[in-house]
Amino acid sequence: MAQSLSRRRFLGAVTGGAAITAVSHGGVGARRPGNSGAQPAALGGSPVRTAPFPSWPVRDATEEQALTDVVRSGRWNRGPQVERFEAEYARLTGAAHCLATANGTSALLATLGALDVGPGDEVIVPPYTFVATINAVLLRHALPVFVDTDVETFQIDARKVGAAITERTKVVMPVHLGGAVADLDTILAAAAVRRVPVVEDACQAHLAEWKGRKVGTYGRAGCFSFQASKNLNCAEGGAILTNDAELLETCYRFHNNSRGRATTGSSDFSYRGVGANLRLTDFQAAMLLAQMTRLEQQTRTRDANGAYLTSLLSEIGGITPARTYAGCTRNAYHLYMCRYDSAAFGGLTRAQFLEALRAEGVPASGGYSPLTKEPSVVETLAGRGYQRIYGKPELGRLAERNQCPENERLCSEAVWLTQTMLLGPRTDMDQIAEAIRKIQRHAAALRSL
Ligand SMILES: *Cc1c(COP(=O)(O)O)cnc(C)c1O
């Protein structure tokens, strides 16, 4: 079933003419001896792959009907569709409660707001993440304390979390980067010793599992993003999962300009604390409900293809796929991540490697740059607000603590493929591996390009 579904999707993603090209360039063709001796595409040879990878988003009449139904209902703002989505996402993840938000950033912001993170507080974060993780902390005027990366897994180095916790640590916020899972056992244990809540940034990890249970349900709260590139997509959207009913209501108020839930027929105009408008609409929730009909199947396809690709790439010297921790029983593969060692490719730089790979029909990127050095973060910490709250000496000490040399190394070695590339047939994985092997064979010639 997985095979036939993903194959149908793969063929559906390309036009008729291109589909024929795709088949003739399939896994079997890619392995022909004649083909393996061919020139790299960057040097004028024919590319390993000419067909596009599966397109994203995947959609059909379900989405159109869902949107039409909302239009006709006349209820466009937060309403029955949002409530249905919240119940369904909680059921799917096994969480007691779910609150939908405008996007992943606002899920993080509302959670930190509900936990009263503010000036003078420290929040432990990884340096290898999307900048939104850090922005949520900065918007609360708290201090981001970076804990270095475990380069083998691309995740926060959980062994270093305990030592980074101080009396001022208000939240530990690991990220399940790329859809794999941070070492939750070690993080939860370190945080529990100091009674610090853990908030999981699971914005890339829909349906990922730790020891058989969905991520986002281990910490005090878990935050998700449904932005267009994410594995579950409604253009812009987010959600908070929690088993803590009281925290859920505080998050609700924060995301609703500090107002509680309306009781039937009457609006609640009692405000408590500060808040903003971070609500999701019924349009987006209807899209999520439609997209969710495919989420489990897509997650299985990515998981199978990702594991197979790892078995292929592990055989190539100089390519090291990201390892997962033993507790990670399901990788959501928002990204397929590996490390590139230029020495095993005759000194071909990563930039040259990525360019040659793209020429072979395999789009890849080098991923994040170090957030500890990111000008927007550095300038915010050096800016007027932070200087007023903390003063120069304290911010200087933070900069010392925030050194992350392992992460800087990782940022220079990383290679990423995106989640959509794992949605096609298994032969796509063969072609990705073949493209890399071909580049390795011709590394010397490519280097002098
Ligand atoms: C996408 C993402 C976010 C932010 O989500 P938005 O919906 O884009 O606001 C936060 N953290 C991580 C790790 C993400 O990948």
Q: What is the pLDDT of residues 285-327, one digit of tens each?
A: 999 999 999 999 999 999 999 999 999 999 999 999 999 999 9
CA of 103 to the centre of ligand 1 (A): 8
The DSSP letter of residue 263 is B
Question: Residue 15 pLDDT more than 50?
Answer: no
**For 162-203, how does the pLDDT look when each residue is reduced to its tens digit (9 = 90+)?**
999 999 999 999 999 999 999 999 999 999 999 999 999 999
Q: How far is the CA of 275 from the centre of ligand 1 (A)?
A: 20
Q: Which residue's alpha carbon is at the smallest distance from atom 14 of ligand 1? A: 203
In ligand 1, the atom with minimum distance to the C-alpha of 226 is 7
Identify the pLDDT of residue 26. Answer: 38
Query: Taking the CB of residue 333, how many other CB atoms lie within 10 A of it?
Result: 30
Q: How confident is the model at residue 13 (pLDDT cuts 50, 70, 90)?
A: very low
Residue type, 100: A
- Please list every protein residue whose CB sits less than 6 Å from any atom of ligand 1: 103-105, 129-130, 132-133, 175, 201, 203-204, 225, 227, 238
With contact defined as beta carbons under 8 Å apart, do 240 and 111 qualify?
yes
Contact between 382 and 396 (Cβ < 8 Å):
no
- The CATH classification number of 62-289 equals 3.40.640.10
Q: Quick one: which atom of ligand 1 is closest to the CA of 334?
A: 15
Cα–Cα dist 214/220, whole Å: 14
Angle at 277 between CA 274 and CA 279, to 5 degrees: 130
CATH of 7-58+295-367+410-448, one of 3.30.450.20, 3.60.21.10, 3.30.1360.120, 3.90.1150.10: 3.90.1150.10
Q: Which atom of ligand 1 is nearest to the CA of 230?
A: 1
How high is the pLDDT of residue 269? 76
Q: CA 104 to CA 344: how far, in whole Å?
A: 39
CA distance 126 to 122: 13
pLDDT at 3: 40
Give 232: exposed, middle or buried? Use CB within 10 Å, 0-12, 13-18, 19+.
buried
User: In which element (H, E) is residue 320 found?
Assistant: strand 319-321
Q: Whose CA is nearest to atom 7 of ligand 1?
A: 104
pLDDT for 264 equals 66
- Kindly tell me if the per-residue pLDDT of 19 is higher than 80: no
C-alpha of residue 106 to centroid of ligand 1, in Å: 9
Pocket probe for ligand 1: among 111, 203, 236, the residue whose CB has the most ligand atoms within 8 Å is: 203
What is the Cβ-side half-sphere exposure of residue 8, based on CA atoms within 13 angstroms? Answer: 8
> Same topology for domains 7-58+295-367+410-448 and 62-289, yes or no?
no
The torsion angles phi and psi of 175, rounded to 5 degrees, stand at -115, 135
Q: Where do the domains of the chain lie?
A: 7-58+295-367+410-448, 62-289
